[in-house]
């Protein structure tokens, strides 16, 4: 990346709950227009960190700037320039996708064409469907569409591909890359290392509330190899997922 302007800067972030410390002194920067991945096991503090940056949760101490705004003082200004996809968010019951889009445009105070937004995530055929009736991949794409309504500078995606089939997953990667191409910074969490390797410009490994490594996936792999690490089995030119995609078709499926 040539451009290394930090759009998010986190310094010594600490989050304590009553009896345990979820985040203990995390510091990292996210650069403008990159795809940044937060990786780590469940309970490591990834979601907590994201939600504090998204101004959804109070921090115990530390300093966070998002596009120059302090999370303590300018939470509402930050909310206007970010888009947030939560891990398990629901949507207002009994409404179809167009109506939900209208609701969110009111909540963000912007005028949008709901159909155009749905087209961006290829859900125009589902305009009259209820959120509940969508497949896993469609739900995630719709969630991402709601994050784009306010034309945000940064979007946060918390485990966007968890539970999706391989086609839907790759399809979502394409969408994320497309969003980045339009100038948006993307911060995501994932459990899939192949996904992080493919998508992310830089990744941070979080373990027990601390960051243990931040770098590009390439550098991190090279560092590991330089220590003399070798895979037990020689890597073939394809893996089982490639077989799956070959056998079941690469193109979008009806229920993706």
Partner 1 sequence: MSKPYNHTKATMALAKASFRSIMRSPSAVVFTLAFPLVFILVFGFLGKGGLKVELAVAPGSDLHNPIIVALEENPVVHLVRDKDAGEIKNGLEKGNIDGLINVQKNTAEKPAYKAKVEYTSASVDKGNVLKSVIHNLMYNLNSKDVMPTVAELNESTVQGRIYRTIDFILPGQLGFSLLSTGVFGTAFVFFNLRQTLVIKRFFATPVRKSSIVFGEGIARIGFALLGAVFIILIGHFFFHFTLVHGAITVINMLLLAIIGLIVFMGFGFVVSGIAKSESTIPPISNIITLPQFLLSGTFFSIDAFPSWLQPISRALPLTYLNDAMRKVAFEGAGLWDVKHQIMIMIIWGICIYAVAVKVFKWE
Residue ranges that bind partner 1, judged by CB under 8 A = 54-56, 76, 79-82, 84, 86, 88-95, 99-100, 102-109, 146, 150
Query: Which CB sits closer to partner 1, 145 or 211?
Result: 145
Query: Which CB sits closer to partner 1, 56 or 129?
Result: 56
Residue linked to tokens 């499926």: 253
Query: Which CB sits closer to partner 1, 109 or 228?
Result: 109
Residue 140: both structure tokens together: 């995630």
Query: Which CB sits closer to partner 1, 138 or 167?
Result: 138
Minimum CB distance to partner 1, residue 108 (Å): 5
Query: Which CB sits closer to partner 1, 54 or 195?
Result: 54
Minimum CB distance to partner 1, residue 201 (Å): 24
Minimum CB distance to partner 1, residue 105 (Å): 7
Minimum CB distance to partner 1, residue 95 (Å): 6
Least Cα distance to 131 among 145, 142, 117, 146 occurs for: 142
Minimum CB distance to partner 1, residue 28 (Å): 21
Least Cα distance to 155 among 39, 256, 62, 66 occurs for: 66
Report how far apart, in Å, the C-alpha atoms of 30 and of each of 20, 50, 128 are: 27, 12, 37
Pairing assessment for the beta strands 69-70 and 61-66 based on DSSP bridges: antiparallel
Neighbours of 239 (CB within 10 A): 10
Half-sphere exposure at residue 101, Cβ-oriented, CA atoms within 13 angstroms: 27
């Amino acid at each position: 990346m040539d451009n290394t302007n930090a759009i998010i800067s986190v310094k010594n972030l600490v989050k304590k709950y009553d009896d345990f410390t979820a985040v203990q002194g995390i510091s990292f920067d996210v650069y403008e227009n990159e795809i940044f991945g937060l990786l780590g096991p469940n309970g490591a503090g990834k979601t907590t960190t994201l939600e504090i940056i998204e101004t959804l949760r109070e921090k115990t101490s530390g300093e966070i700037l998002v596009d120059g705004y302090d999370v303590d003082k300018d939470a509402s200004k930050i909310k206007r320039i970010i888009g947030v996809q939560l891990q398990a968010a629901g949507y207002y019951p009994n409404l179809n996708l167009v109506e939900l889009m209208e609701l969110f445009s009111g909540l963000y105070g912007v005028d949008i064409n709901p159909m155009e937004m749905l087209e961006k995530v290829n859900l125009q055929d589902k305009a009259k469907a209820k959120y509940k009736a969508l497949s896993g991949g469609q739900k995630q794409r719709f969630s991402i569409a709601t994050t784009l309504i306010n034309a945000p500078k940064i979007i946060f995606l918390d485990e966007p591909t968890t539970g999706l089939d391989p086609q839907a997953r790759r399809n979502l990667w394409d969408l994320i890359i497309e969003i980045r191409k339009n100038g948006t910074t993307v911060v995501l969490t994932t459990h899939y290392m192949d996904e992080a390797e493919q998508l992310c410009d830089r990744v941070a490994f979080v373990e027990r509330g601390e960051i243990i490594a931040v770098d590009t996936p390439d550098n991190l792999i090279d560092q590991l190899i330089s220590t003399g690490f070798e895979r037990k089995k020689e890597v073939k030119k394809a893996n089982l997922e490639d077989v799956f995609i070959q056998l079941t078709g690469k193109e979008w499926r009806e229920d993706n």
